Each structure stands twice: as structure tokens, then as C-alpha cells.
Structure 1
């Protein structure tokens, strides 16, 4: 299959909770007001070390979107999804951006998010 090329990020890094592969930087967070099946999720302007799955239309709280699941290249775990197309004009800002589920990643301080934690503030922007 060949050698795996992995980008190592510097700074406040979010990584895969299973294999510690770097996925995104704190400074690339666009919004912390997203939700998924397991609780909180963050919208990032840029993620690395992921592979993109098949595109599919999903009805979310904010309307219909064409999205693709994203997977950690280190271990293959699903870590979130990428917005390919937003069908509502007000949601176009999401196109090309990715959502990482907090349940699936470790924070910059090594912290993990567990689904029993409560969400304070923000709004339910999306749900899958």
C-alpha cells in the first residue's frame, strides 16, 4: 500500500483520540456550536490527515447538505464530516469546511470529551 504520509501540526492541536494523529489546530475553529450523535462537535476551516468518504445528502437541523464522512488516516476511525454543498443560502459558509466530533478527538491539552458532559451556551447548529 505504500508509506503513510502524515502531517505533524505545531501549536494547540486536536488529534485522533485512538491513535493521536494530528487533525486540526485550535486557531482553525470556526464554531464550537455544532452537535452530533455523541454531543459537541466543532467546525474547522482546515483539517489534515483525513480521508474523505462518499458524498451523500443529509437532512440536518439547518437544512439539506451534501456531506462526506471523514476518517483518520492513522487508524481509519470516523472523526466527523466535511460539508461539500449547502443547499440553503444562509448555510453556504460551511462549504469546504469540516466538523470534528469532540467525542472522537483529544483536545490540545490532551483532554477527551465524554457524551455525558453538558453543553453550555451556543446553539444546536447541526445534528446528524
Structure 2
């Protein structure tokens, strides 16, 4: 089974990879997009080839939810967080679920999950500027001189 996101045909059985070392970290079928948090990340039911340190130094509490850092097993980059304790369970906030940063993971095609949803750098409109380097405002780089040829001095009040 396949579906289309933007201009990309995605296979449901396809893998999600770490953007930095291309280690497989999940399957697309485990991805649960949540419109509320989509800009920052997405929820996954299962991930693999990751490290979740069992140390309180790698945990934090956000809005009453306890999160543990999730790192790629190969390159050790921070990919997201695992929900360790949830203050108010909901459809998305479930203990044991993973909240992954969409800019840090990609499809097999090399497109990050973030770029597939919001458009990547290649899909942006060109940066159009009025004028070029030659059209600078005259006198910007010139120094101001007094009539006697010395540079003007600024007086500071104390």
C-alpha cells in the first residue's frame, strides 16, 4: 500500500531513517501525525536502533509529562523523546510513545518528514532582491571629515 505526500510516493512498509547516518529507526506505519504538534515533531508507536539513556540527566518534565531523550544508536544525534510519564493521557500522549523531531528523520527517498509536509529548501520561492551590489547607497562607506581634515570625534556624556 502506498500514499502520496506532496510530490512523493510513500510506501507504508517503507523505513524512516536518521538524517545524519541513514540508520533505520522506524517504519512509516508506526508514524502518527498530529496536526497540533506537526511543526515540531510527530508521534511514533515504535522505534528501533535508538538509545534511551536510563539516567535522570537525560530526562525533563514538560507540561507535567516526563520525557526521556532518544538518540540514534549509530551517530548519537538527538532524534526526539520517549514519553515516560504522562500527566493527562490522551489519544497522542501515551506512556511509551515516541515524539520524534521531523527535521532529524527522513524517508528512504532522502526527504525529511518535515520537508515532505511543509516543503523543503528546493521548493521555496527564489530570494528576489531589489538591486545588486553595485546599486548601494552612495556615501555609505565614506568617512566624515571636519574642515581641517581630521576625523570627526563623538563626544560622550558622562
TM-score, normalization: structure 1?
Answer: 0.67
Q: Which residue of 2 aligns with 1:26?
A: 28
| Unaligned segments of structure 2, at least 5 residues | 1-11, 120-158
Q: Which residue of 2 aligns with 1:40?
A: 40
SS in 2 for 1:74: coil
Cα distance in 2 for partners of 1:45, 1:29 equals 7
Q: Is the Cα contact below 8 Å between 1:51 and 1:73 reproduced in 2?
A: yes
Q: Is the Cα contact below 8 Å between 1:33 and 1:40 reproduced in 2?
A: no
RMSD value, Cα: 2.6
Name the one with the larger strand percent. 1
Residues 111 and 32 (structure 1), Cα distance of their counterparts in 2 relative to 1, 3 Å cut:
farther
Residues 90 and 105 (structure 1), Cα distance of their counterparts in 2 relative to 1, 3 Å cut:
closer
TM-score, normalization: structure 2?
Answer: 0.56
Q: Which residue of 2 aligns with 1:78?
A: 78
Cα distance in 1 for partners of 2:99, 2:108 equals 16
In our comparison, the structure showing a higher alpha carbon Rg is 2
Cα distance in 2 for partners of 1:96, 1:50 equals 14
SS in 2 for 1:11: coil
Q: Once the two structures are superposed, what CA deviation does each residue of 1:62-91 show, in whole Å capped at 9, x if it has no partner?
A: x31011010000100000000011012447
Q: How many pairs were matched up?
A: 102
- 1:92 deviation in Å? 7.8
